[in-house]
Amino acid sequence: MMRSRASRQLSIWIWCCACLLAMGNAEAQTTLRALAKTKGKLVGTSLSSNYIDNPASMPSGYQSTLANEFNVYVAENSFKMSELLPNAPANPFDIQISDLSTAKIDIMVARARENGVGMIRGHALIWHTQAPSWLTTSAPGWTADQITAFATSYIKAVVTYCKTINDAVDAPVRIYEWDVINETIDKSKARAKKRARGSAAKSSIEYRTGTWYDGVADRQAFIDAIFRAARNADPNLRLVYNDYGIEFYGSPKCNFMLNMVGGMVSRGVPIDGVGLQCHFIGPDPSGAGGFSSSDARKFEQTFAALRALGLDGIVTEFDLRLQTDSTTIEGNVTSQQLALQGDQYRLIVATALSQPNCPALVLWGFTDAHSWIPWACPGYGHALPFDRSYAKKPAYEGITTAIKALPTVEENKASSLTTTLPTVSAMTFGQALSNSTLSGGEGSVPGSFAFETLKEFL
């Protein structure tokens, strides 16, 4: 009798273990987008232009990873001005939709729709680089008012076109957010020149010079005007300032950014968030360096500072590059570097997505087969979570571990009841998602973000 009871208990125990193992396996096999959905977060990637334009040339590994793993897409290059306005318009100071190459937008929307992805980030309306050559030739002869008229009418045309896509009932895809201006903060060139001459001048930060919009002396007024133009063209669009090197609180560039966006908030200029590009450097071949826990604290403080302003922080272009053994694209890294990269990926994703004002983490590509890093930073590579054959790297496990540890949407709802809700200056994710025509299921966006959903019910 005793024996059979003991053996029954043993069988129950074995059965429980088997169930737990099966559950563990099911979870281990789940995709980033499925995991992120349960946590009310967006996890995205940029799409290589070649494959947006020529889907037939897309390797099957690229297509299946793209379709299975992500719930937000951004065009790596196709939404930049050189692509959307390649030819000189009849009147550059009053851009019309008919002046745009809207096919680029349509193709990206089609790729998202085919993969059941409902959310697209727009990147980037105004940028000093990847501007059409006709513009870089003409703009130096324009007055400040003409430059502003050009930029605001361009934004109006692009945003209005995207709004027609967002508003179409048969198009369950939303271009929900745009980087209104990219990288307009820079190291002071005057100081850099002084330093080169041996002067002891300290590094300082200023609005970027050497751009096609240099003719605008009052840079802040220009930035205010373009954000207002975007909001006027679509009151439901989220508007973002995007830059690199602003991730760590306390750095001169981060301070400048906080002052800039803080000023915008205080003047009532519509802005919803700041895009932290997060092009980070990982451990070197000796295993030293990379993203540290002290970096994580400064990163977290930046989100806190943005939150105090009522702004989101969005990870917009994440990659973590590794120093390789050669300057060619084929350069190799050590298995120790890849393992440490996985830990650092986990720390970065956990730090960002655990912030209540970080709704999304977007990778700048997902496979080492298609990454801008080996070209932009020779001697570096292997920056992304899938290798060149689309196999998952430790970095992928780092992302899943971090997302699994986040509270669920329900847990967030419960804890938000007792916390102060942040002020959000414009349309919120919750509203965006509930207003959208997206249907449920894997193909659609994740549930509304807890604090925003609650806000609607309070």
- Active-site annotation, residues: 183, 317
- CB-based closest residue to ligand XIL: 372
The nearest distance, CB 73 to ligand XIL, in angstroms, is: 14
Instruction: Compute the radius of gyration of the chain from its Cα atoms.
Output: 23
Distance of alpha carbon 114 from alpha carbon 443, whole angstroms: 10
Q: Using CB under 6 A, pick the residue from 76, 177, 272, 319 that binds ligand XIL.
A: 76
SS3 assignment for the chain: CHHHHHHHHHHHHHHHHHHHHHHHHHHHHCCHHHHHHHCCCEEEEEECHHHHHCHHHCCHHHHHHHHHHCCEEEECCCCCHHHHCCCCCCCCCCCCHHHCCCHHHHHHHHHHHHCCCCEEEECCCEECCCCCHHHHHHHHHCCHHHHHHHHHHHHHHHHHHHHHHHHCCCCCCEEEEEEEEECCEEECHHHHHHHHCCCCCCCCEEECCCCCCCCCCCHHHHHHHHHHHHHHHCCCCEEEEEECCCCCCCCHHHHHHHHHHHHHHHCCCCCCEEEECCEEECCCCCCCCCCCHHHHHHHHHHHHHHHHCCCEEEEEEEEEEEECCCCCCCCCCCHHHHHHHHHHHHHHHHHHHCCCCCCEEEECCCECCCCCHHHHCCCEECCCCECCCCCECHHHHHHHHHHHCCCCHHHHHHHHCCCCCCCCCCCCHHHHHHHCCCCCCCCCCCCCCHHHHHHHHC
The nearest distance, CB 277 to ligand XIL, in angstroms, is: 6
State which residue, 77 or 434, has the beta carbon closest to ligand XIL.
77
Strands 273-276 and 119-122, bridge-based pairing: unpaired
Is residue 82 part of the contact set for ligand XIL (CB under 6 A)?
A: no
Tell me which residues in 165-194 interact with ligand XIL (CB under 6 A): 182
The nearest distance, CB 128 to ligand XIL, in angstroms, is: 11
Half-sphere exposure of residue 33: CA atoms within 13 angstroms, side-chain side:
23
State which residue, 245 or 430, has the beta carbon closest to ligand XIL.
245
Binding mask 189-228 for ligand XIL (x = CB under 6 A): ----------------------------------------
The nearest distance, CB 142 to ligand XIL, in angstroms, is: 24
The nearest distance, CB 112 to ligand XIL, in angstroms, is: 18
Tell me which residues in 367-426 interact with ligand XIL (CB under 6 A): 372
Size of interface with ligand XIL, in residues (CB under 6 A):
6
Binding mask 311-350 for ligand XIL (x = CB under 6 A): ------x---------------------------------
The nearest distance, CB 88 to ligand XIL, in angstroms, is: 23
Tell me which residues in 274-303 interact with ligand XIL (CB under 6 A): 277
The nearest distance, CB 384 to ligand XIL, in angstroms, is: 12
Residues that bind ligand XIL (CB under 6 A): 76-77, 182, 277, 317, 372
